[in-house]
Amino acid sequence: MGYRKYVSDYRLDKQLTGSGRVKTTAVYKGDWFTYRESPEAIRRLAWLVLGIALAVLAMELPMLFCNTLISYTIYALLPMAFVLFPVYQLILTGVRLLRFRAPLTREQSDQAEKGLRRGCWLLLILVGVHLAGCTAYCFFPGLQKGELPLIICVAVAMVLAVLLFTQRNKAQTVPVKAEQ
C-alpha cells in the first residue's frame, strides 16, 4: 500500500494476537494482473533493461572525467546530467521486473508497465539532446584533441537508447480474475 491512488485497493483487517493486542493488517482486495509475455521473456527483458541502462551510464560518464573543453560546455554537459534520471528509473524498473511475479497488484502493474515506457521515452529524448549538443559543439568551437571518443560514446548511448525504445511495450499487463 504505497500511494494514495491505490488505497481503495486495500481493506484493513483487525486480528487479536496471543497477547491480547489488536493487530491491523492491510489486505489486497483489488484486481490482479499478469504479464502478457511469459515469465522467461519478462526475466530476459529485465536483464536487457538493466544491461542497457548500465551501458548507457558507462557511455555517458566518461565526459565527467575527461579534462577537455567539451566537458565544460553547457549545451554538451547539461543534457548528460539529466540522462542520469531516466537511467535511474530504468534500473529501478529492471529490478522491479525481476522482483514482481504474477499475479501483480494494480500498483505493481503500473510501476512495471509505465516505468518502462516512461524511462524509455525520457532516455531517448535526453540522449538525443545530448548527442545534438555534442554535434553542435563539433561545429561551433571545433573539435579538440581527445574529444572524438567522447562523442562516439554518446552516439553509442543513442543506439542503445533506440534499442531499448523498441522494447518499451514488452512489459504490458492484463487483468485476471480476482482470487477469492
pLDDT score at 166 = 95
Q: Residue 57 to residues 31, 85, 137, 168: CA-CA distances in angstroms?
A: 36, 10, 21, 18
Write down the pLDDT at residue 179: 52
Instruction: Classify the phi-psi angles of 65: left when phi > 0, otherwise alpha if psi is within -120 to 50, otherwise beta.
Output: alpha
Kindly report, residue by residue over 132-146, the tens digit of the pLDDT. 988 888 888 777 888
- Give pTM, 2 decimals: 0.84
Question: H or E element: which one contains 174?
Answer: strand 173-176
pLDDT digits (tens, 9 = 90+) for 3-56: 788 888 999 999 998 888 999 998 999 899 999 999 999 999 999 999 999 999
**Above 70 in pLDDT, residue 121?**
yes
3-state secondary structure of 129: helix
Q: Which of 134-138, 141-145, 154-158, 159-163 has the lowest mean pLDDT?
A: 141-145
Domains and CATH numbers, the chain: 1-30 (no CATH), 36-175 (1.20.120)
* Mean pLDDT taken over the chain: 89
Higher pLDDT, 62 or 123: 123
The mean-pLDDT minimum among 33-42, 72-81, 83-92, 149-158 falls in 72-81
Residues 82-102 have a mean pLDDT of: 93
Above 70 in pLDDT, residue 180?
no
